[in-house]
Amino acid sequence: MFLTVYFKEISLLILYAVIQSVIFHFPQAWPLAFVSLVPLFFLMYYCAGPKEALTVGYIAGLLQTAGTFYWILHVTKAGYIAMCVYLGTFTALYALLAYNAVQVLALAGSPGFRWAWLKILTLSSLWVLIEFIRSNIPIMRFPWALLGYSQWKNLPFIQSADLWGAYGISFLLALSAAAVFAAWMIVLRYSRGQMRLAEYIGQLVLMVAFPLILIGANVTYGVGAIKAIQASVTPQTPSCRMAVVQGNIPQDQKWDPRIQDMIYRKYDGLSRNVIMDAPDMVIWPETAFPGFWEVEPELAQRTGRLARDMRAELLIGAPTYREAEHGVQKMNSVLHISKTGAELRRHHKIRLVPFGEYVPFFQFLRQYFETIGHFTPGTVMTLFRTPVSWGFGVTPDNRPRAFSALVCFEDIFPDFCRRYVQKGSSMLINVTNDAWFKNSTGPYQHAQSSVFRAVENRVPVVRAANTGLSCYIDTTGRVVDSVKDKGKEIMIAGFKTFNVTLNHRPAFYTRHGDWLILVLLTLFILTHRLYTARLNENPSDDTD
């Protein structure tokens, strides 16, 4: 009986959750993102009030999270449940605040609908503001699977991220969905004979013209940007040869001391296979070094000999110890080893994974989370200076070229990465261990972030992952090449050398950051007030 009465609502809940999950699991499903919010709008339309919208929105968000992040089950079942419960609140908040705007858009054919087009701006602005809040809440910030990331293979569409970041792409998608919902309501009203043809055409054009123009301009900009970047690459453009090694060490074996030597020999052997490619640098993933660097001096010495034998620099992910005032601290680090085997510089991961590498909030909770890594975050955004022998030379403004190392999920934070480029980084290198996700779409969802960091800042991104996706992303966001074995990129061992083009040019987003958020907050407030003011001038307009 329950299913029969609420069949429409249940169907919309499932449809919303499926579409919102599919667009992040299958790159070819990117067109669905333009209508992915439509089922949610209809759910809100059928709700009796804001409180019911809040409840329905929470259920929708919970189901969406469960489908999008199913791979967290490979890491922790309790964490998966907590993630669903936590992230569901943001969809609930959106549904609560968007409820009235949806009801206004449903007034197709009424006199008040003349001003309802303002509400598509309200809905799209609010969606991005909620994404921004989710991405920047201290400690629990989670800018993963932003709506815009669904377009990571739609290169012309995402080029404008160098102007307004990934949030700008999310805004366009939300705007499209709001316009589709409004247009649908207009068509329904006309099909029921409740509108004259002239009104039907006029309101339909009013509702879809602005989104179509904006989306068309965005694609035009993207096509032009890609052509301009491709034309800027000449034989004189600086480049370097970067090799990545993908060890494919299962997570349940990484810290087994009985096979420590076997793990090291695997990375050593794969690295020596790269010698024929004559790389400038060989990169190992996050914590690829099987043990703490200071505790394994023999392995550290072997690493130095490897660099000398290869005549190439090494960038190695390794856990390290650091002396501090209150004792020794454990750090998740990246070490830069010279061609002579000497350590040049090291960087300590700054953004640690809560409940993965440390226990947030209260120190006394540590006793209940003995399996947590208890790492200490770094405090310095390290720049690795590149030697002249690499052929990097200097940047267009005569500064020595440098690169930055992003450890694990640090590449998912737009503003964090932007600050590295502001400091002078010409290339971002992401070392990560996605073995936690096993054979799932988790590694690809992680790589979506790297694609946007490349476009936002117009810098190349090189990824070295334990189980994939290890790849080179150029400044247009194109995945140029990756480590493969018989067509597979995930859960395979291998290596690949990339000829990385260093054609970085300062981007508007790099200089100005998330300026769009302030604009959308202003737009959200103004559209609400303007619509209210118009209704106060003409009270009879607010009729169905």
Enumerate the domain spans of the chain.
Answer: 2-232+514-541, 239-512
C-alpha–C-alpha distance, residues 474 and 129, integer Å:
29
Closest by alpha carbon to 57, among 105, 5, 20? Answer: 20
Please answer whether residues 208 and 183 qualify as being in contact, where contact means their C-beta atoms are separated by less than 8 angstroms.
yes
Helix-then-strand count for the chain, H and E: 15, 12
Please answer whether residues 447 and 441 qualify as being in contact, where contact means their C-beta atoms are separated by less than 8 angstroms.
no
Question: What CA–CA distances, in Å, run from 128 to 35, 123, 173, 418, 467?
Answer: 16, 9, 10, 19, 32
Model pTM greater than 0.85? yes
- Residues marked active site are found at 286, 349, 408
Helices (H), 69-160: 77-105, 118-136, 155-158
Q: Is 380 exposed, middle or buried (0-12, 13-18, 19+ CB in 10 A)?
A: exposed
Tell me the pLDDT of the chain (544 aa) as tens digits. 445 557 888 999 999 999 999 999 999 999 999 999 999 999 999 999 999 999 999 999 999 999 999 999 988 888 899 889 999 999 999 999 999 999 988 886 565 566 777 889 999 999 999 999 999 998 788 999 999 999 999 999 999 999 999 999 999 999 999 999 999 988 888 888 877 887 788 888 888 899 999 999 999 999 999 999 999 998 888 889 999 999 999 988 888 888 999 999 999 999 999 999 999 999 999 999 999 999 999 999 999 999 999 999 999 999 999 887 777 889 999 999 999 999 999 999 999 887 666 666 555 555 554 444 578 899 999 999 876 555 555 555 555 678 999 999 999 999 999 999 999 999 999 999 998 888 999 999 999 999 999 999 999 999 999 998 999 999 999 999 999 998 999 999 999 999 999 888 889 999 999 999 999 999 999 887 776 666 555 555 554 4
Terminal-residue alpha carbon distance, the chain:
31
Q: Point out which residues pair with 318 in neighbouring strands.
A: 333
Give phi and psi for 224, each to the nearest 5.
-65, -40
**What are the respective helix, strand and coil percentages of the chain, to the nearest 5?**
55, 15, 30
**Residue 544's pLDDT is what?**
42
**Residue 517's pLDDT is what?**
96
**Residue 367's pLDDT is what?**
52
**What's the CATH code, domain 239-512?**
3.60.110.10
